[in-house]
Amino acid sequence: MTHIYSVHGLTIASEVEFPELLPGSGEPDVWVRRGAVPEHLPHGATSGVLFEASPDNYLLRLDGTARYWARAGREVLIDIAPKALEVRVRTHFLGAVLTALLHQRGVLVMHASCVLGSRGAVLLAGHSGHGKSTLAAALASRGYRAAGDDAAVVTADRDDRLIVQPGFPQVRLWADAVSRLGHSPEQVRRVDPDKAKYALELGESHTPEPHALAALFLLGVRPSGPVQHETVSGAESFNAVLAHTRNLRVLQGLRMQVPHFRLVTSVSSRVPITRMTRPLDRDSLAELVDRVVPALS
Amino acid sequence: MGRIVWLASYPKSGNTWVRAFLTNYLRKRKTPADIDDLEGKFIASDRHLFDEMVGVEASDLGDEEVAMCRAEVFRRFVHDSDETHFIKVHDGFDIGGVPLFPADVSALAVYIIRNPLDVSISLAHHHGVSLDVAVDRMCRGFTLSEGGDRLKAQLPQVLPPWSDHVRSWVEQGNIPVLVLRYEDLVREPHAAFLELVERLGLEIDRAGLARAIAFSSFDVLRAQEQSHGFIERPSDGRAFFRGGRVGGGEEALHGAQVRRLVAAHGEMMRRFRYLGDRDEPFASRPAGLHGG
């Protein structure tokens, strides 16, 4: 059976079921099929520890779970290992593989969550552990709509406006964030049996439409002190957008630097960027929410 | 291809001091290097480095999968460079026999060792725990940056008991190792740091050595931390550079705590001259040849 989904501006036809994704319609942009995947790409690939990448080809190898082969931004083959845990097969597809597929299509994939304000989409970018999902979930619980967690896809439309394509209606949180946000265990589902990581379904708090990119926050951490908040511009903003691109080494292996640089330049020169650094020695979530809210109104 | 020099130690054993010395020696500036911009700023357990090199986030992998990938992360890291990279490490050399640090891209492991009695005091302060808890961690092992219910900026680092940590590095046999005793760095900084410079194959510059020692003195480091903080400070804001004294452990620990550390680590303490002839704690022994 083929399932049709919509995510990050793509219509995906898939032989593998992804309950995380919203249903889609229309002509598929991408096909996901089950099939044999070689251990390695043919010669000339750049390789990371678990991936290989060459123009139009990306291979990810997770022993005991699956091998994935993404081709030309249009097709993904998944070779599922016997006895693989289904949730892990899906997690790696929705994370690393989907990012590589989007890189193949020449769009900008930022390590960011997305919240909707009255002027458009506001991205909360940060490396793992810097609090972007928690902040997005806190804003969603204040009534703001969210448009994706962990990966935000930015494209340029025909009029060269920067558009954020919606992700899927779920935020993944660690146990401490779940309890800090005051959620009950019924509202969340454990993502992986071995990890204290939970999926918070956004339901009506998720917006499935694309929106213009209005602002970008770069989240950082420091040992102590006040929450800091500063505007970033010039070369620093270019470097910051570059540094918050997901899986940069994969993108380099795919030789997609040219379209990527173009989008990084557009975002860094046209979108207001704020660096916001929080202390690690106390809970500053409410303060962070207060700093982001003005950008949403 | 680049090479890696590991700056390895049990936590609170002088790693940052050695990094401050190296930074000042290599950069040859007229003012002390900023403590927030030291060589070896990259810690081996850096989560972002892992995620980028592996291509899958560590938070989506099991502990065993993460351990299996770590050596390969460092190979990829140096693959496209010709430089020598200094990387700070607190992990033990291996996890359950799986080596984390690949010999083929390693030039040297500098292992900094400090009297475990003194380490326990600094460890208790750094982690905001009692001396009993610090002593217990050093005797039974613990995990640094253990996530559990949250995601930490560093990968979890499995620390075996203190002696096993020392042994894992000084007896690994894969990577040449230079053992630096913290106490020798305190008492005979010129001789000890000169040995480091020589083993690294760096050009020997006597004036530069004296300047780098002065620029990385405890007072300079602490003054910098007091004026603008330090990114590697404990997360609840306590000072990182606190006393740095030799022999503090003997004064601060009570008898049972000393006995427990000596019982657990006596062999390694004797080997590195932290115990006297009658197994009495012996922190103030004069500098001599490095053990190991």
Instruction: Quickly tell me which residue has 């005793």 as its tokens.
Output: B181
pLDDT of residue B282: 64
**What is the ipTM score, two decimals?**
0.89
Nearest by CB to residue B55, choosing from A48, A195, A196, is: A48
- Predicted confidence at residue B292, as pLDDT, reads 29
Query: Which residues from chain A sit within 8 angstroms of residue B79, using beta carbons?
Result: none
User: What is the spatial distance between Cα B265 and Cα A219, in angstroms, rounded to a whole number?
Assistant: 43
For chain B, the straight-line distance linking the first and the last C-alpha, in angstroms and rounded, comes to 30
B23 part of a folded domain: yes
Shortest CA distance from A131: residue in chain B: B151
Q: Which of A173, A268, A273, A283 is nearest to A221 (CA)?
A: A283
Q: Do B153 and A129 touch (CB under 8 A)?
A: yes
Which stretch of A41-50, B10-19, B190-199 has the lowest confidence by average pLDDT?
A41-50
Å between B72 CA and nearest CA of chain A: 6
Q: How confident is residue B237, by pLDDT bands cut at 50, 70 and 90?
A: low
Number of domains in chain B: 1
Residue B29 lies in a domain: yes
Q: What is the number of CB-based contacts under 8 A between chain A and chain B?
A: 98
Contacts with B148 from chain A: Cβ below 8 Å = 175, 196
Q: Give CA separation, A53 vs A36, A74, B69, B194, in Å.
A: 18, 15, 18, 45
Q: What is the rounded average pLDDT for all residues in chain B?
A: 88
The residue extents of the domains of chain A are 3-105, 109-296
* Residues A197, B171: Cα–Cα separation, whole Å: 38
Which member of B47, B60, B231 has the closest CB to residue A222?
Answer: B231
SS3 (DSSP) at B281: strand
Residues 6+ apart with CB under 8 A from A270: A162
Strands B177-181 and B106-113 turn out to be parallel
Q: Which two tokens stand for residue A267?
A: 């975002």
| Residue B264 in domain | no
CB B204 within 8 A of CB B225: no
Q: Do A130 and B153 touch (CB under 8 A)?
A: yes
Pairwise CB contact (< 8 Å): B235 & A281? yes
pLDDT tens for chain A, 297 residues: list them.
Answer: 899 999 999 999 999 999 999 999 999 999 999 999 999 998 778 889 999 999 999 999 999 999 999 999 999 999 999 999 999 999 999 999 999 999 999 999 999 999 999 999 999 999 988 889 999 999 998 999 999 898 999 999 999 999 999 999 988 888 888 888 888 767 788 888 888 888 888 888 888 899 999 999 999 988 778 899 999 998 999 999 999 999 999 999 999 999 999 999 999 999 999 999 998 878 899 999 999 999 998
pLDDT tens sequence across B86-113: 999 999 999 888 889 999 999 999 999 9
Domain that holds residue B216: 3-115+143-235
* A96 contacts in chain B (CB < 8 Å): 55-57, 60
Distance CA A111, CA A137 (A): 16
Inform me whether the C-beta atom of residue A130 falls under 8 Å from chain B C-beta atoms: yes
- A115 forms beta bridges with A122, A146
Q: What crossing angle do the helices spanning B189-199 and B206-215 adopt, rounded to 10°?
A: 120
Contact B56 A128 (CB under 8 A): no
Contact at CB, A127 and B150, closer than 8 angstroms: no
User: Does residue B229 surpass a pLDDT of 70?
Assistant: yes
Q: Inform me whether the pLDDT recorded for B235 exceeds 70.
A: no
Q: Given CB atoms, is B111 within the 8 Å cutoff of chain A? A: no
User: What CA–CA distances, in Å, run from B122 to B10, B150, B239, B245?
Assistant: 11, 25, 11, 10
* CB-based contact, A278 to chain B, within 8 Å: no
Which residues on chain B are in Cβ contact (under 8 Å) with A196?
147-150
Q: Do A196 and B55 touch (CB under 8 A)?
A: no
Q: Does B80 touch chain A (CB under 8 A)?
A: no
Output the pLDDT for position A82. 96
Question: Distance (Å) from the C-alpha of residue B152 to the closest C-alpha of chain A?
Answer: 6
Structural tokens at position A145: 């709509």
> How close, in Å, is residue A230 to chain B by CA atoms?
18
Using the beta-carbon criterion (under 8 Å), do B54 and A248 form an inter-chain contact?
Answer: no
> Considering the domain boundaries, does residue B25 fall inside one?
yes
CATH architecture label of A109-296: 3-Layer(aba) Sandwich (3.40)
Give yes or no for a contact between B67 and B100, defined as CB atoms under 8 angstroms apart: yes
Identify which of B52, B58, B236 has the shortest CB distance to residue A248: B52
Q: Which residues pair with B125 in a beta bridge?
A: none
Distance from CA of A295 to the nearest CA of B (A): 27
Q: Which chain B residues have a beta carbon less than 8 Å from that of A88?
A: 60
CATH number of the domain within which B14 lies: 3.40.50.300
The amino acid at residue A283 is: D
Helix (H, G, I), strand (E, B) or coil at B168: helix
A70–B contact, CB cutoff 8 A: no
Model confidence over B32-49: pLDDT tens digits? Answer: 888 888 887 778 899 989
Read off the pLDDT of residues B238-276 as tens digits, 9 standing for 90 and up: 777 777 778 777 778 999 999 999 999 999 999 999 998
Residue B200, domain member (yes or no): yes
Distances (CA, A) of A6 to A14, A23, A136: 11, 6, 21
Q: Has residue B284 got a pLDDT over 50?
A: no
